[in-house]
């Protein structure tokens, strides 16, 4: 009987030999069927690790890969038979150790295309056995890892304090406006100063922040998003500290008053005695940190020009919103990009930064965001040279170590995680009370109370 008329589970070695010949693997039939007695059941359970083993001894890499691809196609076509034997198809199709992370996705994609060309009705099965499929409906590959999220928040907290202190230092080093006039700038030289523009920039940033908080509220993987936001923001602002310290640019506008402000805190702290006092610098840094460096919060500094922190905040918020909202929400994406561009325009119109400050801030923020997500979404780039990745991207390697592939834009009610939290607490309290009761009953059984007259 022809092997096509029999289920692979019932194949004999002869059927396996026919299958090998039909799929252009005839030169391996002796090795598999005669030397190793591979029947249908054994063939369905073969993995590439088995094919690479010394016992088989397949030396030609091309033969090994082509045979592995044919076997994977057979396994997907007969996944039900594998399940009936008590095996998990997803485990059998795992990438073998020592191979690139791209192998599983690429080979599975080739098989998928070939199978869909033959029979489109098995698309559902292919989705269930795809490289991004998780057998657990809760997707264990995307755990929230709340501890790492709080660690990234602490990282951002430390960086914001460093940034505030550096802003105090560069304010003291700002060049004298009378000796060093504003540098030539194409935009600033041709656009008059708009006094209220900088406040409008900060209002647009606040609006972007509100939209981002809305996305976080309903996104299912909110802790992963927060972790990435904190890590990227902290890294960009830490780089900004370095650029601010290296070069002090002259004040971009003559309208800026780089002197003590009328604000009570600033008027009290900007005195001659504080220039040599570290404690006073820390107090000034706290005022900057408390107001998030925003002029609408009463913070006024000079010298922190290279590069624009406001542009960093606007761009980071815009990119995160557009990345983690569905592609069909064109209105939201257009709206956030408009806010980003208008915010940059308001910064320049207020003559608070040079054009180069804004351009470099946008470029660095957008490139770092794209580089980070390119590595995160393509695990093969990480696996190609993991040691180098850990050296050059230590934060990325740590925070993304448990995230496998692209984070899907899935949404849920914010009450769902609260319900899960309450459920966990309830179960633990219930088990604790139950175990305590059982232990108490056990003690009473062993030591019954004795009655006394």
Task: Give the DSSP letter of residue 251.
Answer: P
Rounded CA-CA distance 440/172 in Å is 69
Active site residue 353: yes
Let me know: does 270 contact 261? Beta carbons within 8 Å.
yes
Pair 404, 379: CB distance under 8 Å: yes
Catalytic residue, from 171, 219, 353, 373: name it.
353
The answer to whether 411 and 329 have CB atoms below 8 angstroms apart is no
CA proximity to 83, closest of 133, 45, 35, 42: 45
Of 357, 373, 404, 435, which is the active-site residue?
357
Which residues are CB-contacts of 6 (< 8 A; sequence separation ≥ 6)?
Answer: 15, 40
Q: Is 357 in the active site? A: yes
Phi, psi of 209 (to 5 degrees): -65, -40
Spatial separation of the C-alpha atoms in residues 106 and 116, rounded to whole Å: 15
Residue 126: closest CA among 139, 111, 140: 111
Among the options 108, 219, 310, 373, which is catalytic? 310
- DSSP result, 105-163: HHHHHHHHHHHHHH-GGGHHHHHHTSTT--SSTT-TTS---HHHHHHHHHHHHHHHHHH
Phi, psi (5° rounding) for residue 384?
-65, -40
Q: Which residues pair with 411 in a beta bridge?
A: 219
**What distance in Å separates the CA atoms of residue 94 and residue 20, rounded to the nearest whole number?**
23
Read off φ and ψ for residue 219, nearest 5 degrees. -75, 135
Nearest to 148 by CA among 395, 417, 421: 395
Cα–Cα distance for residue pair 223/150, rounded to 1 Å:
9
Q: Which residues are catalytic?
A: 310, 353, 357
């Amino acid at each position: 009987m022809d092997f096509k008329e029999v289920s692979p589970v019932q194949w004999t070695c002869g059927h396996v030999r026919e299958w090998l010949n039909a799929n252009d693997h005839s030169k391996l039939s002796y090795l598999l069927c005669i030397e190793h007695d591979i029947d249908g059941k054994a063939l369905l359970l073969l993995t590439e690790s088995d094919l690479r083993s010394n016992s088989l001894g397949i030396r030609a890499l091309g033969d090994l890969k082509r045979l592995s691809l044919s076997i994977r196609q057979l396994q997907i076509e007969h996944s039900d038979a594998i399940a009936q034997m008590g095996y998990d198809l997803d485990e059998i199709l795992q990438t073998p150790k020592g191979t690139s992370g791209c192998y599983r996705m690429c080979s599975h994609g080739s098989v998928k295309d070939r199978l869909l060309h033959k029979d489109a009705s098995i698309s559902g099965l292919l989705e269930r056995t795809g490289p991004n499929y998780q057998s657990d409906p809760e997707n264990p590959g995307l755990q929230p890892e709340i501890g790492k999220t709080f660690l990234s928040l602490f990282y951002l907290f430390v960086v914001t304090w460093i940034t505030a202190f550096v802003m105090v230092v560069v304010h003291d080093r700002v060049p004298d406006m009378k000796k060093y006039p504003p540098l030539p700038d194409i935009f600033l030289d041709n656009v008059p100063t708009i006094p209220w523009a900088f406040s409008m920039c900060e209002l647009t940033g606040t609006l972007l922040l509100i939209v981002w908080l809305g996305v976080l509220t309903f996104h299912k993987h909110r802790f992963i998003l927060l972790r990435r936001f904190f890590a990227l923001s902290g890294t960009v602002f830490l780089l900004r500290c370095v650029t601010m310290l290296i070069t002090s640019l002259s004040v971009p506008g003559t309208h800026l008053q780089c002197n003590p402000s009328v604000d009570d805190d600033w008027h009290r702290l900007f005195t001659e005695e504080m220039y040599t006092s570290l404690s006073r610098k820390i107090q000034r840094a706290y005022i900057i940190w408390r107001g998030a460096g925003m002029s609408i919060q009463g913070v006024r500094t000079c010298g922190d020009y290279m590069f624009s922190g406001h542009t960093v905040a606007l761009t980071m918020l815009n990119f995160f919103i557009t990345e983690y909202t569905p592609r069909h929400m064109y209105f939201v994406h257009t709206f956030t990009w408009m806010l980003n561009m208008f915010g940059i325009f308001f910064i320049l119109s207020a003559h608070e930064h040079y054009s180069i400050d804004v351009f470099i801030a946008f470029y660095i923020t957008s490139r770092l965001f794209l580089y980070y997500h390119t590595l995160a979404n393509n695990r093969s780039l990480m696996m190609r040279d993991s040691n180098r990745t850990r050296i050059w991207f230590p934060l990325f390697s740590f925070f993304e170590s448990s995230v496998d592939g692209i984070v899907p834009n899935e949404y849920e009610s914010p009450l769902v995680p609260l319900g899960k939290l309450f459920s966990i607490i309830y179960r633990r309290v219930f088990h604790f009370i139950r175990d305590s009761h059982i232990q108490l009953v056990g003690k009473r059984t062993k030591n019954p109370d004795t009655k006394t007259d």
